[in-house]
Each structure stands twice: as structure tokens, then as C-alpha cells.
């Protein structure tokens, strides 16, 4: 019995062991089936992720151009270079390349190729030209990087914005992010056992799509000249800052927009800092009187001794001596009492609607998110003195851009234009969109603007803005000196004023609207006529002298009505009468830039000289194929070392060069230096101090009673 029992136990053990083996085999087979068949895709993905990694290839951002096609912001392709010393087949040849191509010293090239160093990073970033010379060399690896470059950032930083972490922030960069950004591509990078990327083992599986382009209405030369003139005025007057806007009144195009505050030109105060305009608002009060038929320019107003108390407040005048003055005279001499009394016939509704129609209290439509609409309260919120305050430019706040656009309506026959900073865009897919000029509304009749033009021209000739006058052409405009309101103290600061001038040129057929506003000029002279008006004249003179000018010179020749005189060998005598009847006036939406006969510089000679104005103004034009004597495109850089910085810049502009200012010492020098030949349109670096070293190929990282004129 015991033998049988033992045999059965052994049989059971064998059977149990067999069952266990069968079950284990079944489990192994099932697991293998699961891994090999059902989970195969998951395991392949896991293996691929361990052996390689998908990465994003950044797309080059699109370019931002000025109106003449000059790049203001662009993506700059550069390369980082790294060396695997173990893979170098010939160290001496690689060292030679590093010294000859990359500009490394011999000692540094030896350090980067030292066999004791397994991996070395070459310092700096290099231009794309090195790719063709280094790509494919064993042990030398190139890594593409994109850098946003702003060649004229000091002139347009606020307008352009910037790029942070690959995305546009502020200005045009932020507003047109969808156009400029493009679409990133994809690449696969091989990894070693330690999950470290293997150099040179990168496969591009989807190419990036470059961003589209944005073309601005800004004119770089006008922007440059305006900034230099504004900066000089700030320094001369001790102002805290200032704003300048140059616009085309017929299209609403912004040709220059400069804001300098706290020593920086990165500000956008011209569109986001509304202030009380003061007397620059008086033309709109008079426009309302003329449009409604409530008064004529010849109507007389009693101004007494230049003081008028109403509703418990007193208005005063500075320049008015007579007891009676016409409305035209009150506007010309900037009489607070005269304008406020003349406005009495206007109802609150008429006064409010007039200001609203001129665009105050609402954004201009520029398209930048930072733009402010200013402040224009509804009549139900007015106080007893509000009507008189509004008549002379208080109890209302407006941005410099709003004010410039409103004067544009006075200049172009009464049409308020939508402000335009962008002329066209091209999407990443290649679709082009053009932004046509938009008329917001007809504010006043053209007859009203013609009457106002005569008065505003007289204000520049003989009123409060004589320092904005030019010898050869009339300028129409108005000065303003408004007290600075401080929310911190809940009132007006003693001794602080916004001094401004807004005008258009030429008065008879306006091509430019120019606004200049200075924040708190110091010293004894702070009126707009003394501080801001000269900036306008300097800006217009620079536009007249510039080779690539936004002005229609044919139209200016016709308007001058004068023969021209020669004062330099490179100027041509052209009677203005020879162009009469041949001028094609620029229509709304068309570009400026007429051509004078012969394509040579023309000087208008004036027989009269106004106070503070130059006796003549040079007007250059672009080369004309009909002349046979086009201006040379290759010029010798002049010696400007004996000139003040601003004069040096203007001389270079007049020759057709672009200018980039760099800080330095006392002596004005250029790079390339004086005497070198350079092509028209090239950028000349101007600075004070010793000549700069050549750029290497490697780049390393109100009280109503206060005067308001």
C-alpha cells in the first residue's frame, strides 16, 4: 500500500508541475502576444521617444518695413558653432578655418580643438555665410538661431514694440502677431543611451513657414529728422519730454510719430497720454461758430482790459491790448476772453457735437491697443464754467494723435480721416491686404476750413507762432500753452505747462500736418510759440531738404509762384512757370514724391523775409530719367567733423544717406569715414569721439485765469 501511495504522490507532483509549466507557458505566450501584437504601437512609440525627440523649429518672424521699403524690424538668422574634438579628422585644417573664417585667434582656435576637450562651444554667433564653409565638416556642428533685429530701434521702439519669448508685445509686433509670427516646423533629434541629443543627427520633418510682412506708413527720414529736432528742443528748453507727429492730412497716414519721455524714445505717449490741449483747441470753437452760422470772423467781441469773470472764474489775456477785437483777431492773437465770449451763442449740444465730430473723446482708429480715446464729457456732466473752459481747451483731454487728426480735417477741406499707421500686410500664405484711406465723416464745410486757413496762416505770419514760419511757403497753425493737471494733487501744478504747436504745410494745399508738444519746458520762456513752433519749422525744412521726401515737390514748385535762384553748382535754375499746368496733384491714397525737371536740387528764392525765418529753402528731388543728368547714386561721404551733430545729420540726409546716431565724445565722426564712397540709401553711423572700429563678423551676445497762448 505504501508503494502505491508513493507512486500516486509522484504522479500528482508530476501532473502539478506539468500544469504549472503549461500555465507559465500560457502566461508567457499571452504576455508575448499582448506585447508583440496588441501593445506593439505603444512600445514602438516608447522606444522612439527614448531614441529620439520631436522638437519645434521656430519660424522666422516677418519683416516690418517703412513706407519706402526700409526694414525696421527683421528676423536675423545666426549660427551657434560647437566642436566634437574626438571626431575631427584633421585638427590643423579646422584650426585654420576657425581663424580665417570665424576670426578666432590662433590660441583660441587651439583651445577649441584641444584633443583633451571632448566638447567645445565656439563663443559668439555667426552670420549665415559660415554655413556653406563649415557645414559637413566632421566634428563641427552648426545650430541655427533666430534673433529679432531692429536697425533703427532708437527711432521707433515705441511704435514697433518688441518680441518676448517669441511673441510680439506692444506696438506693431503685438498688434500684428498673427501676421508676423508664421508657423513653426518640426524636427526629430536622435538621442543616445543617456537620452542626450546626438550632434548632427537631426531630421527636419516639417519646414517652418516664415511670418508675413507689415508695411508701415512711417517715413524713416521724417522720423529721424523729427526725433532729432524734438530732442534738441527738449535739451534747449529743459523740458521733461515731448511728442511729435507728422501726418498726411489727405490720407490720415502717419509719417512720423515720436515720443521722448524720461530720456527714452520707447514711449507711446503720443497715443496713450491724453492732456488738456489749451489754445490749440480754439480753431475748433471758431469752426463750430462758422459752421452753425452763429458768427462770422469779422464779428467784434468786447474783451475789455483782457479779463472776464463768469460763473465765479476769471479768464485773462496776455497779448491783446485793445478793448474790442474781431473773432479772427481773437483766434490769431489767442485771446481767451475773445474766444470764450464768441462761443456764447453755441448751445451745449452744438459745442459738444462739434468736438465729438472732430474726433475728440474717441480713439482715432490707429489699430494699436494702447491708444486712448481721451476725455470729452457729455453736457449733462458739465459744470457752470465748462462751456467757456472747453472753448479755450480746458476740461477736455486729447492725445497728440487726436489733435493732429483734427487739424488734418481743417487742412483737407473738413474731412476727418481715420489715422493710418499700416499701409499693407502680407500673410504667411502670401495674401496681400492693402489699407485704403478711410473718411470718418465730413465735419465742417470746405468753405469754413478756407476761412480758418487764412486766420491760422496769419497766426504764423504775425501772431503767436511766427517761429514756425518759412520764407518760401505759408504755414497755417496754432500755438497752445496749457497748465499741467496732476491727479496726485487734484489740481494744476505751479510752473508746469504743456507747450504745443499744431499746423499744416503748405497752407494753400496742405501735404503735412505737424504737431509738436513739449512737457514742462523750464526757464523764462515756456509758451508754445517760443518752444514748440521752431521744431515744426526744423521738421519741414528737413523734409524739404531730404532726397527721399514725402512731399510732392511738383506741387510745391507750382505753389511757390517764384523763379528759382542758383546758389550752388549742383542746383538748376527752373522757372516755376515752366511746371504750371503740368502738375498732377496727389489724390487721396496715392504716394507722394514728385520730380522736378532735370532731377537736380532746386532752390526757391523768396523776396521777403519773415521774422525768425530763413531767407530760402532748398527743395531736392529724386533723379528724373528725362533729364539725362540724374543725381549720382554713389557719393563721397563729406567731412562733418566741424559741424554740430544735428547739422551733420541733416547734411548727410540731404545727400540721401540714412543716419544712425551712436553716443560718444566731442568730435563728430562718421563710419564709414569721410572721403569714402557710399551708395545713396546706405546707413552712415554718426557719433562723437574717435572713429569706431570696423564691425566684426561675430556678434556677441486749468485755472482758466492763467495765460494760455
Q: What is the CATH number of the domain that holds 87?
A: 3.90.1310.10
pLDDT value, residue 49:
60
Strand, coil or helix: what is 348? helix
| Length of the chain counted residue by residue | 709
pLDDT value, residue 100:
72
Ramachandran angles phi, psi of 686, nearest 5°: -120, 130
Q: What CATH number does residue 670 fall under?
A: 3.30.10.20
Same domain, 175 and 242: no
Indicate the pairing of strand 422-426 with strand 213-216. Answer: antiparallel
Domain count, the chain: 3
| Nearest partner of 501 among 230, 315, 290, 250, judged by Cα | 230
Is 33 within a domain? no
Same domain, 200 and 227: no
Rounded CA gap, 463 and 445, in Å? 25
Same domain, 242 and 145: no
User: What are the percentages of helix, strand and coil residues in the chain, rounded to 5?
Assistant: 35, 25, 40
Same domain, 284 and 331: yes
CB 501 within 8 A of CB 534: no
Count CB atoms within 10 A of the CB of residue 234.
21
| Nearest partner of 61 among 205, 174, 156, 216, judged by Cα | 174
pLDDT value, residue 237:
85
pLDDT value, residue 614:
37
Residue 209 neighbours by CB under 8 Å, 6+ apart: 59, 182, 183, 185, 428
Q: Point out the residues of the chain with pLDDT beneath 70.
A: 1-3, 45-55, 85-87, 115-116, 118, 136, 187-206, 319-321, 463-471, 523-532, 546-547, 560-633, 644-647, 650, 653-656, 658, 660-667, 680-681, 688-709
Q: For the CA atoms of 158, 163, 165, 170, what is the dihedral angle to 10 degrees?
A: 40
Ramachandran angles phi, psi of 377, nearest 5°: -75, 150
Give the largest CA-CA distance in the chain.
Answer: 149
- What letter does residue 471 receive in the DSSP assignment? S
CB 370 within 8 A of CB 271: yes
CA 675 vs. chain centroid, Å, equals 32
pLDDT value, residue 29:
82
Rounded CA gap, 135 and 119, in Å? 17
Residue 482 neighbours by CB under 8 Å, 6+ apart: 275, 276, 277, 278, 279, 393, 394, 497, 498, 500, 702, 708
Count CB atoms within 10 A of the CB of residue 329.
21
Same domain, 180 and 244: no
Rounded CA gap, 83 and 137, in Å? 10
- What letter does residue 448 receive in the DSSP assignment? H
Given 482, 517, 551, the domain boundary residue is: 551
Distance from the first to the final alpha carbon of the chain: 134
Same domain, 207 and 234: no
Given 531, 551, 571, the domain boundary residue is: 551
Note if the bond before 615 is cis, omega within 30 degrees.
Answer: no
- Over residues 298-352, the pLDDT tens digits come to 999 998 888 898 888 888 887 666 788 999 999 998 899 999 999 999 999 999 9
Q: What pTM was computed for the model?
A: 0.74
635, containing H or E segment: strand 634-636
CB 288 within 8 A of CB 390: no
C-alpha cell at position 81 = 558653432
- Over residues 378-425, the pLDDT tens digits come to 999 999 999 999 999 999 999 999 999 999 999 999 999 999 999 999
Same domain, 348 and 408: yes
Q: What CATH number does residue 435 fall under?
A: 3.40.710.10
pLDDT value, residue 212:
94
C-alpha cell at position 192 = 543616445
Domain containing residue 638: 634-688
Is 693 within a domain? no
- Alpha helix stretches (DSSP H) within 380-469: 386-391, 400-411, 446-462
Same domain, 170 and 232: no
Same domain, 355 and 493: yes
Is 103 within a domain? yes
pLDDT value, residue 125:
77
Is 613 within a domain? no
Amino acid at each position: 500500500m505504501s508503494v502505491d501511495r508513493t507512486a500516486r504522490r509522484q504522479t500528482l507532483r508530476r501532473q502539478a508541475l506539468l500544469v504549472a509549466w503549461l500555465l507559465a507557458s500560457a502566461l508567457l505566450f499571452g504576455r508575448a502576444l499582448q506585447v508583440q501584437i496588441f501593445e506593439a504601437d505603444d512600445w514602438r512609440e516608447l522606444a522612439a521617444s527614448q531614441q529620439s525627440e520631436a522638437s519645434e523649429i521656430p519660424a522666422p518672424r516677418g519683416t516690418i518695413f517703412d513706407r519706402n521699403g526700409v526694414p525696421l524690424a527683421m528676423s536675423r538668422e545666426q549660427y551657434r558653432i560647437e566642436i566634437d574634438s574626438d571626431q575631427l579628422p584633421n585638427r590643423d585644417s579646422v584650426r585654420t578655418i576657425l581663424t580665417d573664417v570665424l576670426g578666432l585667434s590662433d590660441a583660441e582656435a587651439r583651445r577649441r580643438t584641444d584633443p583633451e576637450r571632448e566638447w567645445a562651444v565656439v563663443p559668439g554667433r555667426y552670420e549665415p555665410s559660415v554655413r556653406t564653409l563649415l557645414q559637413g565638416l566632421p566634428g563641427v556642428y552648426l545650430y541655427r538661431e533666430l534673433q529679432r533685429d531692429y536697425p533703427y530701434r532708437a527711432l521707433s521702439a515705441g511704435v514697433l514694440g518688441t518680441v518676448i519669448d517669441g511673441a510680439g508685445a506692444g506696438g506693431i509686433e503685438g498688434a500684428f502677431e498673427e501676421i508676423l509670427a508664421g508657423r513653426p516646423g518640426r524636427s526629430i533629434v536622435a538621442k543616445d543611451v543617456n537620452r542626450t541629443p546626438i550632434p548632427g543627427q537631426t531630421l527636419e520633418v516639417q519646414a517652418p513657414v516664415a511670418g508675413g510682412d507689415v508695411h508701415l506708413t512711417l517715413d524713416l527720414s521724417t522720423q529721424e529728422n523729427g526725433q532729432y529736432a524734438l530732442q534738441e528742443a527738449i535739451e534747449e528748453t529743459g523740458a521733461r519730454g515731448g511728442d511729435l507727429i507728422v501726418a498726411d492730412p489727405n490720407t490720415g497716414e502717419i509719417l512720423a510719430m515720436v515720443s521722448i519721455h524720461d530720456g527714452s524714445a520707447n514711449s507711446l505717449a503720443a497715443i496713450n497720454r491724453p492732456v488738456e490741449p489749451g489754445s490749440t483747441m480754439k480753431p475748433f470753437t471758431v469752426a463750430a461758430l462758422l459752421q452753425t452760422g452763429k458768427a462770422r470772423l469779422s464779428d467784434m467781441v468786447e474783451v475789455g482790459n483782457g479779463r472776464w469773470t463768469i460763473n465765479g472764474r476769471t479768464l485773462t489775456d496776455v497779448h491783446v491790448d485793445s478793448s474790442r477785437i474781431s473773432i479772427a483777431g481773437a483766434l490769431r492773437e489767442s485771446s481767451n476772453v475773445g474766444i470764450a465770449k464768441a462761443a456764447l451763442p453755441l448751445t451745449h449740444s452744438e459745442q459738444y457735437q462739434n468736438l465729438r465730430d472732430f474726433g475728440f473723446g474717441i480713439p482715432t482708429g490707429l489699430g494699436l491697443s494702447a491708444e486712448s480715446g481721451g476725455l470729452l464729457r457729455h453736457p449733462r456732466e458739465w459744470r457752470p464754467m465748462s462751456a467757456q473752459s472747453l472753448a479755450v481747451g480746458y476740461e477736455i483731454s486729447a492725445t497728440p494723435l487726436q489733435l493732429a487728426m483734427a487739424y488734418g480735417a481743417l487742412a483737407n477741406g473738413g474731412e476727418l480721416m481715420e489715422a493710418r499707421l499700416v499701409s499693407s500686410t502680407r500673410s504667411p500664405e502670401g495674401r496681400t491686404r492693402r489699407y485704403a484711406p478711410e473718411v470718418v465723416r465730413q465735419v465742417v464745410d470746405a468753405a469754413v476750413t478756407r476761412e480758418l486757413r487764412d486766420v491760422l496762416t496769419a497766426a504764423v505770419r504775425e501772431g503767436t507762432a511766427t517761429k514756425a514760419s518759412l520764407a518760401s511757403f505759408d504755414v497755417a497753425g496754432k500755438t497752445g500753452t496749457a497748465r499741467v493737471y496732476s491727479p496726485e494733487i487734484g489740481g494744476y501744478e505751479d510752473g508746469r505747462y504743456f507747450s504745443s504747436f499744431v499746423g499744416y504745410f503748405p497752407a494753400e494745399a496742405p501735404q503735412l500736418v505737424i504737431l509738436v508738444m513739449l512737457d514742462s519746458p523750464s526757464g523764462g520762456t515756456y509758451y508754445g510759440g517760443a518752444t514748440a513752433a521752431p521744431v515744426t519749422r526744423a521738421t519741414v525744412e528737413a523734409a524739404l531738404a531730404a532726397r527721399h521726401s514725402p512731399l510732392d515737390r511738383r506741387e510745391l514748385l507750382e505753389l511757390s509762384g517764384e523763379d528759382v535762384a542758383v546758389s550752388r553748382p549742383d542746383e538748376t535754375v527752373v522757372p516755376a512757370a515752366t511746371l504750371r499746368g503740368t502738375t498732377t496733384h496727389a489724390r487721396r491714397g496715392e504716394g507722394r514724391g514728385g520730380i522736378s525737371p532735370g532731377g537736380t536740387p532746386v532752390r526757391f528764392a523768396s523776396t521777403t523775409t519773415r521774422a525768425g525765418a530763413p531767407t530760402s529753402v532748398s527743395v531736392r528731388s529724386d533723379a528724373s530719367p528725362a533729364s539725362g543728368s540724374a543725381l549720382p547714386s554713389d557719393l563721397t561721404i563729406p567731412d562733418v567733423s566741424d559741424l554740430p551733430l544735428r547739422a551733420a545729420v541733416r547734411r548727410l540726409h540731404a545727400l540721401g544717406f540714412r543716419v544712425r546716431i551712436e553716443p560718444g565724445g566731442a568730435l563728430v565722426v562718421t563710419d564709414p569715414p569721410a572721403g569714402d564712397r557710399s551708395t545713396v540709401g546706405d546707413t552712415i553711423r554718426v557719433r562723437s569721439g574717435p572713429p569706431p572700429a570696423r564691425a566684426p563678423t561675430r556678434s556677441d551676445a486749468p485755472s482758466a485765469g492763467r495765460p494760455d497762448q
